[in-house]
Each structure stands twice: as C-alpha cells, then as structure tokens.
Amino acid sequence: MKKEIRLEPEDYQAILDRMDDGIFIVSRQGSIIAVNKAVEKNGGKKMHELIGRNIDDLVKEGYCSEFVSRRVIESGREEILVQHTKDNKELLVTGRPYYKNGQLEMVVACERDVTELAKTKEKLSKVKIMNEEYQKELEYLRKVNSQSSEVVSVSRNMKQTIEMAKKVARLDTTVLIQGESGTGKEVMAKLICSESPRSRKPFIKVNCGAIPENLLESEMFGYVEGAFTGAKKAGKEGYFGMANGGTIFLDEVNELPFNLQVKLLRVIQEREMMPVGSDRPVKLDIRIIASTNKDLKKLVARGKFRQDLYYRISVESINIPPLRERREDIVQLVKHFIGQFNVKYGLNKRISAKAQKLFLNYDWPGNVRELENMVECLIAVTEDDLITESDARLYINGESALRPGSRSKDIEITGSMEEMVGEYESHLLKSMYDKYGSTAEMAKLLRTTRSTINRKLKKYGIRENDDA
C-alpha cells in the first residue's frame, strides 16, 4: 500500500515559490498574510518586507498604484485590474475572495507581469496605424497608376471598343488585343486589368520581341538553382511566377518562337508551368492578355504561328482602330497630353485652333504614340506658351517627309531628302539650343547622347566648341 504524502507548512511555501506569477494572500483587514518569491521581482521589495504590512500603507508609500485585494474586500467578489508599480511595470492582477462560515476570510491575489505584452500591444498598435497609412498610400498609388489605364476618346468606334473591353474584363478569359503600333494596346490591357476582379493583383508586362530567344524560356518561366551555367544560386521566379494571382500581358506575342508557343499553350491549357531545370510543375492562377500588331490569321496560314495557340489566346478579341480612323479623338488627345506634360515640366502650354486643324489633317502613321511624342517635342522647343500653326507645321512637314506611308499630296518638296532632313534637324537643334543652352538638357529631351548633340551642333554651325 502506497504511503500517503503529507505536506508540511513549509511545503506550501515552497510550492508557491515555484510559480512564476506573484501571489498575495491578504486578510479581510487588509494585512498581507503570505506572499511568494515572484512578488520580489514585480514590486522591488523582499518577501519579509511585505508580510504583515497593510496594503493601504504600501499604496501610500508608492509600492503600487492600487491593490486588487482592497477592491475584493469592498465588493466581496472577484476583481481584475491592471496595476502599475513604482519601477514602471504593468501587472495584470486577479483577486478572488475566500469565504469561511459565510464570512470573507481572506483574498488570494495573483499578479502577472504584462509589461512586455503591453509593449508588444503598443508596437502592434503602431504597426496597425502604419499599415493603415501604407494602405492609404497604396490606394493613392493605385489611383495614380489607374490613370495610366485611362483611354481618352470621344469617337464612337473607340468608345465601342472601350465598352467591349470593360465587358470582357469581368470574365477571366484570355484576351487578344490587335492594332497597329502605337494605338495603345498596353493601355487597353491595363484598362481590362483595372476593371477585372484581379485589379488589385500584379500586372506584369512582357515584351516578347525584346528578349533574346536564348533567354526567353528562363525569363518567362524562371529557373531553379543549378539549371545552367551562370544561373543564380537561389534560382529565378520568371515573369509568369511574378504575375501569379494577377495578370500577365504578352506584348508582341507574334514574336514568340515555336518552342515557346508550345510551352505557352501548355500554360493556358494546364494552368501550370515548368521552370527551367525543374521536374516539378508550378501551379498558376493567372489571366493572360496578349497583343499583336500583325494579322495572326495570316501568320497561322503561313505556318509562322500555331493555330491551336491562336484559338486559345483569342477567346476574346479586341481590335483597336488606328488614329486616322477616329480623327475626333486627335484634338482630345492633344489637349490631354499637353495637360500631362504641363504638370510634368511645370509649364502652362496651350495650342491654337489652327495648329489643331493641322493635326486633324495629318494621318498619324505612328498613332497615339507618335501624337504623344509630338506634343512633348513641341512643348520642349516652343518659346511661347501658345503652340502655333507654324510650330505644328514644322513637325508635320518634317515628319511627313520622313515617314513611310505618308500621302504625297501632303508633302511640300523643297529639296532632296537629305537636304529636307538636314533643314528640319538644324531648325530643331537651333530652337532647342536657343531655349536651353545646355547639350545635357537637349540630349535628355531628345533621348540621345550628349556627344551626338555636340556633333550635330558643330555640323550645322550652331556652336563651334563642345561643352566643357
């Protein structure tokens, strides 16, 4: 038969001292009967300095802000409070009454140091506030970014195209956007994304024609560690991985080589990709929008583009009309871009009615992109705030003489092609040099090198010496 364990009085104290929480046992008169070792680290007094003391006296001495035991004595029920000590600790204290023969005999109080918890709570509160601020900033950036997906149009056929894009946006299907270079296929893709359920998710643009063929697969689908010589140790996510959960925009999809067309077809069908060097497919939750400035049906007929891929990417197809087929939009776009560049450069430019008329009669072979570049160029070179007919004619005459596909009846032949190009270039450089007097600024605005500007200025006798 097992021997029954009997606890001696000192055993009870030893048990209490094993506890991490501080224990106070207080009589109904408010005198401390017993404490454990943990109270020493919470209040700064030794056990023997507390036993026998009255809790009200200790409060007066600044030992703590309040004893929960006093509340229990007065209420006769369990009480909880947060107690602050003189050494700036924060304690969560629970006091419970002990009754004997129907009368309150004593109070047992348990205190737990929550100082670190309170600090953590404070930090979390600050993090929450910061997070709310970041959310506001993110919303602002989204709003600013969404403005880049704004399609400026008053023409009927373009408005119909926009409405079609918004309807397509609601469905998570693949979309093919077709149109000449410069018509705004990327802007249309962003519009579709902004109107879709994936609007808050990543939007990744990939220019399929700008990536070297030998790098296409690894750039598109990523690779794992050791996939090939020179591969990053941690591998690479790839564009499709970056867009996972959101939208990937494949610009110039017609430029994809056949082997990549096969892999893209698998991605669309299986919703998974195989990173280079990996034997495990990666699941994808992604929307694909593709664009082309070519007639894909003709490329399919010539064997240059896979027919099955064509049908997969053109579940929904959107055709953007060229600017010459929506002339009502020209003036609207000119004013839109002038407003943008005025803000960008801190200017107050405007355009005359006669200059607007010139632009209406121009064919814009480069479409909206050409129009935007023209506006920025004119804003850079015009001296006055008003862009005049003569300013506009300088651009129109120069561009119409230089661009293929222009109508001969719009071209005023004043010499050989070399002479006309030189005349335009000389006039442009002289106007800009007179205005800015800095080859660095001119190079920046004309998107060329400073050495090229210096060489041209010498060539046309605008300035003899290079900048220092």
Lowest-pLDDT range of 12-21, 421-430, 438-447, 457-466: 457-466
- Per-residue pLDDT of 359-393, as tens digits, reads 999 999 889 999 998 899 888 888 889 999 988 88
At CA 462, angle to CA 457 and CA 464, rounded to 5?
75
Residue 252 CA, chain-centre distance (Å), reads 24
| pLDDT score of 167 | 94
Average the pLDDT over 82-95 and give the result.
83
Flag whether pLDDT at 329 surpasses 70. yes
Confidence of residue 398 (pLDDT cuts 50, 70, 90): low
CATH of domain 9-116: 3.30.450.20
With residue 7 as reference, give the H or E element that holds it.
none
- Per-residue pLDDT of 29-66, as tens digits, reads 999 999 988 888 877 788 888 899 999 998 898 888 88
Confidence of residue 446 (pLDDT cuts 50, 70, 90): confident
Q: How far apart are the first and last CA of the chain?
A: 106
| pLDDT score of 144 | 44
Average the pLDDT over 329-339 and give the result.
92
| pLDDT score of 151 | 78
Give the tokens for residue 142.
Answer: 């989204």
Q: Which CATH architecture has domain 156-319?
A: 3-Layer(aba) Sandwich (3.40)
- Per-residue pLDDT of 104-150, as tens digits, reads 999 999 988 887 776 777 777 777 777 776 665 555 445 444 444 56
Confidence of residue 172 (pLDDT cuts 50, 70, 90): very high
Q: How many CB atoms lie within 10 A of CB 276?
A: 18
| pLDDT score of 2 | 59
Share of the chain above pLDDT 90, in %: 45
| pLDDT score of 165 | 94
Average the pLDDT over 157-181 and give the result.
94
Share of the chain above pLDDT 70, in %: 88
Residues 31-40: contacts with CB under 8 Å, at least 24 apart: 31/55, 33/106, 39/111
| pLDDT score of 133 | 65
Q: Which CATH architecture has domain 323-401?
A: Orthogonal Bundle (1.10)
Flag whether pLDDT at 293 surpasses 50. yes
How far is residue 21's CA from residue 83's CA, in Å, rounded to a whole number? 14
Give the tokens for residue 119.
Answer: 């600090």
| pLDDT score of 170 | 93
| pLDDT score of 404 | 40
Confidence of residue 414 (pLDDT cuts 50, 70, 90): low
- Scanning the structure block, which residue is given the tokens 């809790």? 55
Lowest-pLDDT range of 63-77, 85-99, 142-156: 142-156
Q: Which carries the bigger pLDDT value, residue 396 or residue 155? A: 155
SS (H, E, C) 334-389: HHHHHHHHHHHHCCCCEECHHHHHHHHCCCCCCHHHHHHHHHHHHHHHCCCCEECH
Flag whether pLDDT at 88 surpasses 50. yes
How far is residue 332's CA from residue 214's CA, in Å, rounded to a whole number? 43
Give how far Cα 53 sits from Cα of 29, 173, 247, 299, Å.
11, 78, 71, 96
Q: What integer best gives the mean pLDDT of the chain? A: 85
Average the pLDDT over 163-172 and give the result.
94
Average the pLDDT over 240-251 and give the result.
95
Q: Which carries the bigger pLDDT value, residue 173 or residue 44? A: 173
Flag whether pLDDT at 156 surpasses 50. yes
The answer to whether residues 431 and 423 touch, using CB atoms and an 8 Å cutoff, is: no
Burial class (CB in 10 A: 0-12, 13-18, 19+), 44: middle
Flag whether pLDDT at 285 surpasses 90. yes
